[in-house]
Amino acid sequence: MNFTITRQNLHKGLAAVSASIPSKTTLPVLSNILFDASDDGVWMSGTDLDVAVRVKVPADVKEPGSLTAPGKKLQEITRELPDQPVEVTTRGDQIELRCGRSHFKLNGLPADEFPTLAEVDFSEGVTVTGKDLNRLIHHTSFAVSTEESRPILNGVLWELRDGEMKMVATNGHRLARMGVAVGSTGTPSADFIVPPAALTQVQRLFNDDDELSVARSGNHLGFRADTTEIFTRLIEGQYPNYDQVIPRDNDKVAVIEKKSLESAVRRMAVVASDQTHRIRLKFEPGRVHLNVLTPDLGEGHDELEVQYDGEELEIGFNANYLLEVLRHIPSEEVNFAFKAPERAATIEPAGEDAEDYLCLVMPLRLLD
């Protein structure tokens, strides 16, 4: 293998695929990036066996070939190279870099030791915009579970329907659901449970103005735009019926200025218990009182003016869950809806042109 490439292109390619390399692995080849040089450029690939990233960068290829080489080390070297063309050659299982007066040799591993990437036929996929996909990911993926006891909740449910797509994530204590209208694709409906690690790569590598092709092959899902491809193993199983847990009869609704509520909750969280993070919200016409009492630490009180004319009600929440939800709501004001102290509350954007976005937070029991 022998090719010449600009330092910028080499660094860009390495940065794109290096994030998919596991930090610790018992399989040495997974710490490497696969270089595959052909007549029209160089493909670079990295994988942790669950998520794989493949990018093609322009280069002047004199001799095609393939080899794997240490990804993080190459990235660190390239970052410090002068802005001059880099000549990359291989000799046996060694890769050599020459740039100006700099010269490096690194030990690699044969290309056939690198895991085979998923074969996905993008011609049979659907097309989505980077903007829609990135918005859905941003507003929902924070709510996934990190507990290993229910692996199905460790993924984000992505529902594709003709004219609409939705993403849902929950850990059983909080839930986020967002939908966006998309152009009619005429493709059959599909549901995927996607690991958040793959969605993080999608957000990182695709821009809002990218047109993405998304296609499935067996238990793998592929994303492609221009010369960048991401493949992920899907989480198998049946996602719980999230629609059943979203309350339809929350008749007490408070309209609250989001930033004021966020600030007040953050202040209360300082004094909340490290175990439960519980804060109390007491709603009465025109205002909400926030209270915290932690016996071994102290107490806090705050109040806000709100638009509320329902009957008085006191309800407890995990402050961290509330803050996460408020951070992701895309509006200045929120509709905070509830029915009883032991029933799930919903938080939605307020306003005429509010987006199709709903978050649910389970209350905490109030112990007197």
**Among 95, 113, 131, where does a domain finish?**
113
Residues 91 and 194 both lie in one domain: no
The neighbour count for residue 354, using CB atoms within 10 Å, is 15
Question: Half-sphere exposure (CA, 13 Å, Cβ side) for 323?
Answer: 14
**Domain at 257, CATH number:** 3.10.150.10
Residue 325's closest CA among 165, 142, 146? 142
The parent domain of residue 219 ranges over 122-243
**Could you write out the DSSP letters of every residue in 245-303?**
GS-S---EEEEEEHHHHHHHHHHHHHHS-TTT-EEEEEEETTEEEEEEEETTTEEEEEE
Residues 7 and 97 both lie in one domain: yes
**Among 113, 146, 168, where does a domain finish?**
113
In a domain, 367, yes or no: no
Determine which helix (DSSP H) or strand (DSSP E) holds 104, and give its type and residue range.
Answer: strand 102-107
In a domain, 199, yes or no: yes
In tens digits, the chain (368 residues) has pLDDT values of 999 999 999 999 999 999 899 988 889 999 999 999 998 899 999 999 999 999 999 999 999 999 999 999 999 999 999 999 999 999 999 999 999 999 999 999 999 999 999 999 988 888 999 999 999 999 999 999 999 888 999 999 999 988 889 999 999 999 999 999 887 666 678 899 999 999 999 999 999 999 999 999 999 999 999 999 999 999 999 999 999 999 999 999 999 999 999 999 999 999 999 999 999 999 999 999 999 999 999 999 999 999 999 999 999 999 999 999 999 999 999 999 999 999 999 999 998 777 899 999 999 987 65
Q: Looking at the 3D structure of the chain, how many domains does it have? A: 3
Gap between the Cα atoms of 316 and 311, Å rounded:
16
Residues 93 and 140 both lie in one domain: no
In a domain, 366, yes or no: no
Q: Do the Cβ atoms of 43 and 227 come closer than 8 Å?
A: no
In a domain, 225, yes or no: yes
Residues 186 and 155 both lie in one domain: yes
In a domain, 307, yes or no: yes
Cβ within 8 Å of residue 285, ≥6 positions away: 308, 309, 310
Residues 253 and 227 both lie in one domain: no
Report angle CA 61, 202, 225 to the nearest 5 degrees.
50
Residue 42's closest CA among 17, 5, 7? 5
Residues 105 and 148 both lie in one domain: no
Gap between the Cα atoms of 160 and 153, Å rounded:
18
